[in-house]
Amino acid sequence: MKIATIAVVMLATTGLAACGGGRAVQDRTAPIRALLSADALMLVSFDTNDDLAVSREEAEAGLAREWTRADANSDGTLQPIEFTNWSNLVLGGSQIGPYRLDFDRNVDNSITREEFDAELRARFTQYDADENGSLSRTEFVRLVGQARPPTARREMPQREMPGGRNPG
């Protein structure tokens, strides 16, 4: 009976999240499923054959299209303003990741094609939970909260205490 109750609350939570985040009647112990990152929006848009899954081939073609879109002056790098414009269009703004520095790994204020591709390929791989080389819709939805008893979070970093042993 308790398990059934939790399942119902989970569904209700998912529905609320989809409607724009009313938090009125949430069980505080219920897990929440949500899109954690705006790259999901972009990856879903790569499904060009409309089978509701994103294959690696579709993803590669999509990356090439997005690079062309992002590199507005076609100089082979993304400057911060280019990234911001692209992020606003494709990722829905900069409220949630991926952020510019997720791409610009050497922090030189410029994103190369290699950095762009490497970051997005890594994200494709991270989403592909069943490792079948294709992203289904369910692979984009993550559990962001876990039912947790109040006393569970008690972990303290284990520290070595030098000289702490008392020889009997």
Please tell me whether residue 47 binds Ca ion under the rule CB under 5 A: yes
Q: How far is the CB of 56 from Ca ion (least distance, A)?
A: 10
Closest CA to 64 of 123, 113, 134: 113
Please tell me whether residue 57 binds Ca ion under the rule CB under 5 A: no
Q: How far is the CB of 24 from Ca ion (least distance, A)?
A: 34
Please tell me whether residue 108 binds Ca ion under the rule CB under 5 A: no
Neighbours of 153 (CB within 10 A): 7
Please tell me whether residue 49 binds Ca ion under the rule CB under 5 A: yes
Neighbours of 29 (CB within 10 A): 13
Choice between 13 and 62, CB closer to Ca ion? 62
Planar angle of CA 34, 49, 36, nearest 5 degrees: 15
Choice between 49 and 88, CB closer to Ca ion? 49
- Residues in CB range of 66: below 8 A, 6 or more apart: 42, 86, 90, 116, 120
- Residues in CB range of 46: below 8 A, 6 or more apart: 54, 58, 59, 61, 62
Kindly indicate which of the ranges 24-32, 34-42, 45-53, 85-93 contains the residues binding Ca ion, using the contact rule CB under 5 A.
Answer: 45-53
Kindly indicate which of the ranges 9-17, 24-32, 122-130, 153-161 contains the residues binding Ca ion, using the contact rule CB under 5 A.
Answer: 122-130
The binding site for Ca ion (CB under 5 A) comprises: 47, 49, 51, 53, 71, 73, 75, 82, 128, 130, 132, 134
